[in-house]
Structure 1
């Protein structure tokens, strides 16, 4: 009986210990928080990683050294470069906590599908990082710009984009699997957020940049990058990027400015939005109906609106609806005319709702998308007006 008990305990201990076969001490590893992939000069790629120095991120253990190290190597395969980077970094690199992947513009124009295969295949790399394009720059330049509030440039970018998406929109929140799904779908082209450097990139390398009230260099969310297949085709403005999010039903909260009188404006804080898209093909012509519903409250106004009257609410609702319809329709038309790339996924809607008529035009969908009749209908309901209904502007003498 004792022998069986001993064997049972031994087996349990062996099972527990087997989970530690590849353990590493904290002093032996460096967590990679950001990665940049650029076109190489001699080989196909330059892989640049940012590895954090954990002791410098903690106020109690910080001793004045750099909070992270940024180092790059050149080669033809990311699978090899991910390990070759240790030619300049002493510790074993952990990629499972990567927060940002930045693709250089030059490489994005040539095509990115080859190296994305490595990222999707690697068991250590998760699909919860931001994937971005460095507009007019190399991705490595973005990783090297210092910042006051967060010592790690890639972590700063991740937080910045997340905050932007929750408070205003503008960041499409694209992850690696979103890009892959767009490539493998017949009715959608991929997009990514595009960032750039405001100021002098060279001055952004210095720690002095972190000490200035107005930094010499600052990484900003610039626009929306449009791809045709795996190649960068162009950019849309940040305003257009938010309009894209309206169509994708990804607006959490945002603020819009509506003209309430000639040369006078009213600010609305928008929340609780919902977008529905319907599509059908009539006589070979795609027809898309986009219905958007949103609630809002008045955040500020230049006009003498008296919100103690229902008529005022109704008039402001209509102004906001016309404003949104004009903006969103303009973005769709711009993409149709300039890019002929269905970034909105209208083809996927057609595939679900009118597959029989969609199938014959599936292979030429981008051309059909450019000719599609797209209508935008919005319903905006202003619920509140802040802490007052009557504006003091009427009382100003």
Structure 2
């Protein structure tokens, strides 16, 4: 049953609320789950779906978690907004890594970046408030906005601009209902990184129009070549009082399963989000918080090694994808995703099928080549695929080679 049908039912007929019934399953997690199920069934599927490093969490972080398990202090409830020592360490890490000086009271520790994003939008948005969303977007953003009562407004960029939106595009999307700009650099799903000049122009535009900005900095340490990460509230200080920064340990320290993220913002917004969290989940697992404390208090040697591997894989996957006729893949400058256009393959016959869109093409690739990729529809732009290159070098080459062989048959 569609969300529209659910919404039209009377309250007594409706089994699932219209609000929650309208939420779509995470496409990236769904693809990853399907790939893992096929592998468990004995099929040699190679998955490019989930965005998580293929490296183990560094030993010193794991050891901190083991020690925490034996500490009775961590066997009890702790403050819903985060361990005080972790909030202080996150503030220090933020100053160290991006130059953004904040107080511990401006930090909310959450169950991963997703909770930070939802709670921030929930604290900022009233029903009908609009959020400008540069597109392609990560699948969770529009769902979080809508669940919080807001309205996502897509601003689409394509491969011709390196998937970067312009101030002119943002201004064209602004209305009297616009309250928040979502800004993400480096980007999931495209790997786009905005230059300092672009960050400044967009930040000053937001400040000029009194907009809030939610900026996701989860990939801050994963930039390549000459690209550089720039934190928006550092580049445009006048935004500090209307900016929420979301981050976490997942990507930098290979800790996706530990579920520790955070939001940094003005104290009143962070307090409101913390009040919500106090009823939704209470404190994040104390053992995971202790691990995160070790992570953010330590050096960045682990991410430097991961970045070197990702950079190598980045070059390999872009080269191999661009060797496929009908595929155009700009070189990503950050994160660990390639986002090729596959519009040149749509409608062509591949083993007796003519995929009309990238969802159908992804199905053909999975069924015929045993390679799992995520279709662009999940990110707001049909005609593209997202491939995470956070997997082993051999699997990466084997997976894209299978795609090359299959898609060479397109005619």
TM-score where L is the length of structure 2: 0.22
Which entry has the higher C-alpha Rg, 1 or 2? 1
With a CA cutoff of 8 Å and minimum separation of 6, indicate the structure with the bigger relative contact order.
Answer: 2
TM-score (ref. length: structure 1): 0.22
